[in-house]
Amino acid sequence: MKTIEIEPTFESWQAAARALLRDETPPAQVRWREASNARQPSLPHEPTSSGAVKVPRQFLELARQAAAASDPARWQILYDVLWRLVHEHRDLLKDPHDPGIQRLHGLLTPKAAGPDGDGAARLVPAGAGLGELRAAAARCTGCDLYRQATQTVFGRGSADARIVFVGEQPGDQEDRQGAPFVGPAGEVFDRALAEAGLERENVYVTNAVKHFKFEQRGKRRIHQTPRATELQACRPWLEAELTLIKPDILVCLGATAARAIFGDTFRITKDRGRFAATRWAPKTIATYHPSAVLRGETETQQAELYAMLLEDLQKVAQA
Ligand code: URA
Ligand code: SF4
């Protein structure tokens, strides 16, 4: 196994990939690692001279775009495809059913969110405090959601908070008032917090997506679940909040937040109510979203959902 350190740029990956191809190193023997000032492999000055491989121009275009994605697996995915283009067949890119090609295209989908849709990453000021982050997020155009919403709803609470709650996205009231969990879901949340013995002033509350996504029906604005691309675009804000606060306990409210933190396979019904260590907090847990309680079809069902939410918050209060 070779560990190849590159700067997270297309050029750095390309230089390393060329050298690996020349040495006939198959993808399975390469582990890619990002470093901010990696040493470049030494290269002949004329990379297209005899012995160097020719790669379809279309691949280079795709690779350049994929290099700008944030998935750390992109270098490996790119080298896999490159290797197979050279060793299997040059028309690989034309096969939409090939799993490797699908993974390559998967890297590009977050970019499909529109002209401003390249995510919040480049807008997050490095080393900023919460106030600066909030101010920068207020101007975010990282995906299309800012166009329709009233304002960015950033997290609320102190950087010293030891417990962070993450919801899905602001709702109608939150969008108007500019603060998370201040509408009907916020009422349920506040009630459960108080009953569990937690105080809102001592915790930090935020959302996975910071703009309200809705569909206008007459006068009503109907909540719409954010797409994976929007979650991905907004994720740098959440990461910046969590990196700064470093909570002891991180609580995901509902499936969207839970998947953002634990990954796509997380299922609230099956996996809720258990602490696990994540890179964000030594104790990370997910529970029902307060809105789920409100959506319960009967009073009995609502009471049951509320009881489970409360039970999980009590675990948090005791941890
Ligand atoms: N639902 C959420 O997920 N977050 C809010 O801030 C309000 C409702
Ligand atoms: Fe930016 Fe997030 Fe709003 Fe999209 S939802 S514009 S990424 S703050």
All structural domains of the chain: 2-108 (no CATH), 121-318 (3.40.470.10)
User: In sequence order, what DSSP letters do the residues of 197-236 get, joined into one string?
Assistant: T--GGGEEEEESS-S--EEEETTEEEE-PPPHHHHHHHHH
**Higher-pLDDT residue of 57, 208:** 208
Going by C-alpha positions, the residue among 284, 316, 115 that lies closest to residue 197 is 316
String of b and e for 238-249 (b: at least 16 CB within 10 Å)? bbbbbeebebeb
Each residue of 245-299: pLDDT tens digit?
999 999 999 999 999 999 989 999 999 999 999 999 999 999 999 999 999 999 9
Q: What is the pLDDT of residue 116?
A: 56
Choice from 166, 177, 181 to test ligand 1 binding pocket (greatest atom count within 8 A of CB): 181
pLDDT band with cut points at 50, 70 and 90 for residue 115:
very low
Rounded Cα–Cα distance for residues 37 and 235 (Å): 25
Q: What is the mean pLDDT of residues 28-41?
A: 80
pLDDT at 102 over 80: yes
Stated as kind and residue range, the H or E segment containing 3 is strand 2-6
Of all ligands present, the nearest one to the C-alpha of 120 is 2
Q: Quick one: DSSP state of residue 27? A: G
Residue 78: both structure tokens together? 């790119």
Cα 206 to Cα 89, 140, 153, 179, 257: the distances in Å are 48, 16, 8, 9, 10
Site residues for ligand 2, CB cut-off 6 Å? 120, 137, 140-143, 145-146, 152, 209-211, 230, 233-234, 237
Q: Is the CB of 119 under 6 A from ligand 1?
A: no
Of all ligands present, the nearest one to the C-alpha of 110 is 2
Rounded Cα–Cα distance for residues 122 and 142 (Å): 9
Residue 132 alpha carbon to ligand 1 centre in Å: 22
8 by Cβ neighbours in 10 Å (0-12 / 13-18 / 19+) ranks as middle
* Average pLDDT for the chain: 90
Q: Is the CB of 171 under 6 A from ligand 1?
A: yes
